[in-house]
Amino acid sequence: MTAEQLPLLTAAILVVAFLYSSVGHAGASGYIAVMSLFSLAPDVIKPTALALNILVASIATWQFWRAGHFSWRLFWPFAVLAIPMAFVGGYLTLPTHVFKILAGVVLLFSAGRFLFHSADDPVESEPSRPVAISLGGFLGLLAGLTGTGGGIFLTPLLLLKRWARTKSAAAVSALFILVNSVSGLLGNLSSTRHFPPFAAILAVAAVIGGTAGSYVGSQRIGPAAIKRLLSIVLLIAGAKLILTK
């Protein structure tokens, strides 16, 4: 990371935090996207993305809970197994080429989710406890491995299966991201004993963007237009990760 790159990266992190937090996400896939575009190493990207996730997810959780969108009954079955599995995923270090492919798939999946599904469908049912616990464990492991909080998968799952409306899915995903990111970062630090020093500067930008975005998203606007803008960034970054060595 050069001195010339840091201001641009910081500005990009602020924008990502604003956009993602407006739809109840902490921004990990977006942080991975911009840090990948700046050609940072995977061992830097993963802990930084998780740390920024913790900050922004904390803010988003508070804003969406305060606005009355959070459901504990929907949240806890997904979280109970996800938390220890996120620690395992964070502890493991993938080879660089595997990390790039996996992270690229995460980004492309996220892009497709934002691009093609923006409607707020009615709730048909809630998942059974065994199904939610099993899915939560898988998402927690994936969250730890990729340096995301898992919300980028949980939100579309809740919406596509019609287990929650958009704002409720955003609120549940925000706390899901928070607990998984804490667990994943602890696992990563237990393994590497290293944390990027410049992450503190990025954290300030993430807090500013996350505070503004979560307020706007929870109380002021709908998410459809923001999701489509995000999809463009994620498509570019996901393709870059998968197609470059």
Domain count, the chain: 1
Q: What is the pLDDT of residue 245?
A: 59
Dump the DSSP string for 145-189: HHTS-SHHHHHHHHHHTTSS-HHHHHHHHHHHHHHHHHHHHHHHH
Q: What is the CB-side half-sphere exposure of residue 238 using CA atoms within 13 A?
A: 20
39: Cβ contacts below 8 Å, ≥ 6 apart? none
The pLDDT tens digits along the chain (245 residues) read 677 889 999 999 999 999 888 877 888 888 988 998 888 888 899 899 999 999 999 998 998 898 888 999 999 999 999 999 999 989 987 787 787 788 788 778 777 766 765 555 677 788 999 999 999 999 999 888 888 888 878 887 887 788 988 788 888 999 999 999 999 999 999 988 888 888 999 999 999 999 998 888 777 766 666 667 667 767 877 787 787 65
145: containing domain: 5-243
Q: What is the pLDDT of residue 212?
A: 93
Q: What is the pLDDT of residue 244?
A: 66
